[in-house]
Chain A
């Protein structure tokens, strides 16, 4: 039990009549990067806000770092860091002033503040522009500043709400390297995203959709456990095949990816290549039909099919 950073049971949040998060259970281990993967409006941010004590819980129970929410919400704030989806530091303060402000809010001892800020500026490559106003920074710099601010007080648990939605791939890659450094130093990280490649980097993740948890586990485990076949079909006239196959009840999803179609077929079907040929003999004659390794996107599409229907 002690190696869990977050334990949630039956967590529900309602905005009026609308249920944003519905009966979610979570067990998030310490010193791991745990992801919330889900489309927009799936309840990722609501879930995260409940775990930080920002939103009340309509039903269920949450224990974060051994503390009960919402009872211990105030005491918990010293031990967690939170990076909001939207940049929420002050545009009209410089990088240094923003960090200095946050350091004082977190009561970092006065004689440590400068040293701590310097170390953060170095870690997050902001040392050369520390006098620049936050409002004039690039997307990547803003993101690094936000992370520097969220980790300034060395929290045990870090919440990142869609942290890389406004940055380029290179910055994103570097950002993730930094997250693994933090994790290595003992920080538990909870990150929400709708990017598959990002989710794939997490040690473990939960797939959320329409406020419900559809699946959870390590990315590899999720891909192995998926109860559907992933098929690739090549050739021309793919749009027509896509429409025809899409009508079959055992075909869970069809999507074109460049020069081939990616088809998810229920694993009730045995010998799936042959089955497909039988469904559309004329259209599929002479094409390559291959069973391939599922990607996380396939897992995602499979797990969230219920909500889409």
Chain B
């Protein structure tokens, strides 16, 4: 009897939960949308077998042999020559700024080297991304016999592979600067979204909006403490990365903070947009997760960006995290500067401006 009564009470509670869930449209939507959209998104987007990675070519020989070698690389589908540079310095700049993942250098005397059985040419790979770098490194295993006319000549490798930036190919070196982006995405979007939704939930907003304070003033005042919080977080992550995981800080600290500020601004505006849509703190958290998952999986943090189909790459370009990953890896690992990665910097800035306008438009100072 007591058990039956207990069942009845459990049933009452679970029925009530279902009723509440069915009335909370956002939560109900999230229950369905998170698996549906995210599964389709990641099922199609994530691909660790990347082909046609962008590579720069410096061809000092400019001969039929060198053209033959380029054809062999492209036929392997490992890489695609996206830039042809005349000097190694130009190619290094492209590598440094993240435009290519590797450089193929074909020396002037490539023909003689092949005949003498020496290493014919060099491939310099950006080692800061361990996943793509190990994919490109497969160029090194292309046999020299594949070149027409040299099929019978034994000797050294056709391509000698060497790594820039992360010669030991340690994953931590690649992960930690990018992890800053994930941690900031998670905390900052949630902080801002919840901070505003909480005011509304507690009724503080009803009081605030009867005062002379303007929407934009509320937003700016709310954002500044979290900008500082974000800078503190990045400092902690990179300090620990440097001392514990030996992550080299090759770029300048000013550049790192500049890029971080751009990213913080973008994340906070995203938080503000969420706060204008969410009614409860719970909803704000769910929406944050909805943004966080693609930021982890599509931004290039875990899986190579180049491996995703084009539409998913476009989608990833909308996420602030994608641009921040590139900026951070560039500055921290390759010693690059924001000025050389303007596309990413401008994307973050644009996201912040458009986001702020949208949030201010949606955040009305009335209760309608």
Q: Which of B203, B207, B366 contacts A53 (CB 8 A)?
A: B366
Segment 227-261 of A: residues with Cβ below 8 Å from B: none
Q: What mask results when residues 207 to 244 of chain B are scored 1 for a CB within 8 Å of chain A, else 0?
A: 11111111000000000000000000000000000000
A56 CB within 8 Å of chain B: yes
Q: What mask results when residues 177 to 206 of chain B are scored 1 for a CB within 8 Å of chain A, else 0?
A: 000000000000000000000000011111
Question: Is the beta-carbon distance between A80 and B210 smaller than 8 angstroms?
Answer: yes
Question: Is the beta-carbon distance between A49 and B212 smaller than 8 angstroms?
Answer: no
Question: Is the beta-carbon distance between A91 and B202 smaller than 8 angstroms?
Answer: yes
Question: Is the beta-carbon distance between A107 and B210 smaller than 8 angstroms?
Answer: no
Name the residue on A nearest B207 (C-beta). Answer: A88
Closest 9 CB pairs of A and B: A88-B207, A88-B203, A82-B210, A86-B203, A77-B212, A105-B211, A54-B367, A84-B206, A105-B213
- Please give the distance in Å from B359's CB to the nearest CB on chain A: 19
Chain B residues near A102 (CB, 8 Å)?
211
Q: Beyond A54-B367, A89-B207: 12 further Cβ-contacts under 8 Å?
A: A49-B367, A54-B210, A74-B214, A84-B203, A87-B203, A88-B202, A88-B203, A91-B202, A105-B208, A105-B211, A106-B211, A149-B207
A78 CB within 8 Å of chain B: yes
In the bound assembly, the distance between CA atoms of A54 and B203 in angstroms comes to: 13
Segment 277-305 of B: residues with Cβ below 8 Å from A: none
Segment 335-368 of B: residues with Cβ below 8 Å from A: 366-368
Question: Is the beta-carbon distance between B212 and A105 smaller than 8 angstroms?
Answer: yes
A188 CB within 8 Å of chain B: no
Could you tell me how many residues of chain B have their Cβ less than 8 Å away from some Cβ of chain A?
Answer: 16
Q: How large is the interface on A (under 10, 10 to 19, 20 to 34, 35 or more residues)?
A: 20 to 34
Interface centre among B206, B210, B366, B367 (most CB of A within 10 A): B210
Chain A residues near B206 (CB, 8 Å)?
54, 84, 86, 88
Question: Is the beta-carbon distance between B213 and A56 smaller than 8 angstroms?
Answer: no
A195 CB within 8 Å of chain B: no
- Please give the distance in Å from A144's CB to the nearest CB on chain B: 16
**A interface majority secondary structure:** loop
Q: What mask results when residues 61 to 82 of chain A are scored 1 for a CB within 8 Å of chain B, else 0?
A: 0000000000000100110101
Chain A residues near B214 (CB, 8 Å)?
74
Chain B residues near A78 (CB, 8 Å)?
212
Name the residue on A nearest B212 (C-beta). Answer: A77
A-B contact count (CB 8 A): 49
A269 CB within 8 Å of chain B: no
Chain A residues near B208 (CB, 8 Å)?
105
Chain B residues near A52 (CB, 8 Å)?
210
Chain A residues near B368 (CB, 8 Å)?
55-56
Question: Is the beta-carbon distance between B203 and A77 smaller than 8 angstroms?
Answer: no
Chain B residues near A82 (CB, 8 Å)?
207, 210
A90 CB within 8 Å of chain B: yes
A sample of 13 cross-chain residue pairs with beta-carbon separation below 8 angstroms, ordered by A number, consists of A53-B366, A56-B366, A56-B368, A78-B212, A86-B203, A88-B205, A89-B204, A89-B207, A90-B202, A105-B211, A105-B213, A106-B212, A149-B207
In the bound assembly, the distance between CA atoms of A107 and B366 in angstroms comes to: 21
In the bound assembly, the distance between CA atoms of A92 and B124 in angstroms comes to: 58
Chain A residues near B207 (CB, 8 Å)?
82, 84, 88-89, 149
In the bound assembly, the distance between CA atoms of A189 and B122 in angstroms comes to: 85
In the bound assembly, the distance between CA atoms of A148 and B50 in angstroms comes to: 66
Q: Given A54-B366, A54-B367, A55-B367, are A107 and B212 also a contact pair (CB < 8 Å)?
A: yes
- Please give the distance in Å from A279's CB to the nearest CB on chain B: 48
In the bound assembly, the distance between CA atoms of A54 and B204 in angstroms comes to: 14
Q: Which of B204, B210, B211, B213 contacts A90 (CB 8 A)?
A: B204
- Please give the distance in Å from B212's CB to the nearest CB on chain A: 5
In the bound assembly, the distance between CA atoms of A89 and B199 in angstroms comes to: 10
In the bound assembly, the distance between CA atoms of A55 and B366 in angstroms comes to: 6
- Please give the distance in Å from B220's CB to the nearest CB on chain A: 14
In the bound assembly, the distance between CA atoms of A87 and B367 in angstroms comes to: 17
Segment 91-121 of A: residues with Cβ below 8 Å from B: 91, 102, 105-107
Name the residue on A nearest B218 (C-beta). Answer: A105
In the bound assembly, the distance between CA atoms of A52 and B209 in angstroms comes to: 10
Chain B residues near A53 (CB, 8 Å)?
210, 366
Chain B residues near A105 (CB, 8 Å)?
208, 211-213
- Please give the distance in Å from B195's CB to the nearest CB on chain A: 12
In the bound assembly, the distance between CA atoms of A56 and B203 in angstroms comes to: 19
Question: Is the beta-carbon distance between B213 and A54 smaller than 8 angstroms?
Answer: no
Name the residue on A nearest B210 (C-beta). Answer: A82
In the bound assembly, the distance between CA atoms of A88 and B366 in angstroms comes to: 16
Chain A residues near B366 (CB, 8 Å)?
53-56
In the bound assembly, the distance between CA atoms of A102 and B212 in angstroms comes to: 10
Name the residue on A nearest B204 (C-beta). Answer: A88
- Please give the distance in Å from B85's CB to the nearest CB on chain A: 59
In the bound assembly, the distance between CA atoms of A90 and B368 in angstroms comes to: 23
In the bound assembly, the distance between CA atoms of A53 and B364 in angstroms comes to: 12
Chain B residues near A106 (CB, 8 Å)?
211-212
Question: Is the beta-carbon distance between A74 and B212 smaller than 8 angstroms?
Answer: yes
Chain A residues near B210 (CB, 8 Å)?
52-54, 77, 80, 82
- Please give the distance in Å from B279's CB to the nearest CB on chain A: 16
- Please give the distance in Å from A277's CB to the nearest CB on chain B: 53
